[in-house]
Amino acid sequence: MKKVLLTGGTGFIGSHTAVELINSGYQVVIVDNLSNSTIDSLDGIENITGVRPEFVKADCSVFSEMESLFEKHGGFNSIIHFAALKSVVESVEKPLKYYNNNIISLIYLIQLLQKGGGGNIVFSSSCTVYGQPEKLPVSEESPYQPVASPYGNTKKISEDILRDTVNSNKSIKVVALRYFNPIGAHPSAEIGELIIGKPLYLLPYITQTAIGIRDKLQIFGNDYDSPDGTAIRDYFHVVDLAKAHVLALDRLVEKKNKSGFEVFNLGAGKGSTVLEIVKAFEKVTGVKLNYEIVGRRAGDVEQVWADTSLAQKELGWQTESTLEDALLTAWNWEKRLRGKEGK
């Protein structure tokens, strides 16, 4: 059985990817420091797949902990690297925290992979590397604009590190997946996006407002160049995103990659404004949202959505779920989560 290490594997995207990997016949080992997730996601993964992945609590930015993990398993040939801090807003406030965690952890993983003779990395990147694009939709060939946040810059720097590593060491192969805006939850509602503290992203803020945890949804800015003045993003279902990781890893394992370092955009291929998301959520759930317009946030770009034609051509990937599917599964997850907590 093919073995893969998932860093940050108890998190939102990591747990959904673990499900799809297990369903595709991979042996999954998860490492996570549980700073932004809980071990409960392992129960959800097991309930969906019938398999409980091996879990190790460790911090990817602590070399000795990662070295011990690699030694225990005799190394890994394949890694999907999710473990990173990911808040645009927090990164503006605490840039050194983001540079230290996100970049150091990647360097350590590369060093340990090289020590074992090389292998494959599927890297969790982001559309934030593009900054505010001059032309939409964004393709993988779009020129970089100044990155709007330290978080986005850590993803760009990480890609540069991976590209330089591949150029210097042919035993390392990389696929970097540039996500746009994954939302939703597994249709079973066994796993979803667990928010520890105040939500910093639109959908968890919407679902927490809808269920009564938050009094009001704040919409940051209504003076953007968009049909209703609110920012435009490319929202798509997290399960579709998870399946893309399996396709990317298969491509590397089966040596179908066309170069040592490949990049693919992942998104719905169309943009939606914040207010369009609010109205769509109200329609599919029947819940009226209380919201207010406030000022723009530092680090936010005005509008961005993906050209996903390369992923369709090379990975055979495209979204299967609708925006409404994603919104409804996010709501079902929120309701199940709060039911378990007695709220």
Could you report the per-residue pLDDT of 238-258, keeping only the tens digit for each? 999 999 999 999 999 999 999
Residue 151 falls in the annotated catalytic set: yes
Structure confidence at residue 146 (pLDDT): 85
Structure confidence at residue 297 (pLDDT): 86
In the predicted model, is pLDDT for residue 343 greater than 60? Answer: no
Instruction: Report the alpha-carbon distance of residue 152 to residue 86 in Å, rounded.
Output: 9
Instruction: Report the alpha-carbon distance of residue 26 to residue 320 in Å, rounded.
Output: 22
The single-letter code of the amino acid at 300 is D
Q: Which CATH code for domain 2-184+235-267?
A: 3.40.50.720
Within 8 A by CB and 6+ apart from 72, the residues are none
Please, is 47 exposed, middle or buried when counting C-beta atoms within 10 Å of its C-beta (0-12, 13-18, 19+)? middle
In the predicted model, is pLDDT for residue 84 greater than 90? Answer: yes
Q: What is the mean pLDDT of the chain?
A: 95
Helix axes 104-115, 150-168, angle to 10 degrees: 20
Least confident of 25-34, 122-131, 159-168, 325-334: 122-131
In the predicted model, is pLDDT for residue 200 greater than 80? Answer: no
Question: Residues spanned by CATH 3.40.50.720 within the chain?
Answer: 2-184+235-267
In the predicted model, is pLDDT for residue 107 greater than 90? Answer: yes
Q: What is the pTM (predicted TM-score) of this model?
A: 0.95
Averaged pLDDT, 194-208: 89
Structure confidence at residue 299 (pLDDT): 78
Instruction: Give how far Cα 137 sits from Cα of 186, 197, 227, 273, 306, Å.
Output: 28, 33, 16, 15, 5
Alpha helices in 25-99, H assignment, sequence order = 40-49, 63-73, 88-93, 95-98
Structure confidence at residue 342 (pLDDT): 40
User: In DSSP terms, which residues pair with 22 in a beta bridge?
Assistant: none
Which of 15, 53, 16 is closest to 239 using CA atoms? 16
In the predicted model, is pLDDT for residue 341 greater than 70? Answer: no
pLDDT tens digits for 15-33? 999 999 999 999 999 999 9
Structure confidence at residue 139 (pLDDT): 96
Which two tokens mark 254? Answer: 């089966």
Averaged pLDDT, 3-9: 98
Confidence of residue 340 (pLDDT cuts 50, 70, 90): low
Least confident of 84-98, 154-168, 175-189: 84-98
pLDDT tens digits for 222-234? 999 999 999 999 9
Averaged pLDDT, 161-169: 97
Instruction: Report the alpha-carbon distance of residue 230 to residue 219 in Å, rounded.
Output: 8
Its CATH architecture, for the domain 202-232+270-312+321-340, is Alpha-Beta Complex (3.90)
3-state secondary structure 210-272: HHCCCCCEEEECCCCCCCCCCCEECEEEHHHHHHHHHHHHHHHHCCCCCCCEEEEEECCCCCE
In the predicted model, is pLDDT for residue 321 greater than 60? Answer: yes
Structure confidence at residue 326 (pLDDT): 98
Structure confidence at residue 156 (pLDDT): 95
Which is catalytic among the residues 26, 130, 151, 235?
A: 151
Question: Residues spanned by CATH 3.90.25.10 within the chain?
Answer: 202-232+270-312+321-340
Which two tokens mark 289? Answer: 């949202």
User: Phi and psi of 37, rounded to 5°?
Assistant: -160, 175
Percent of the chain with pLDDT over 70: 99
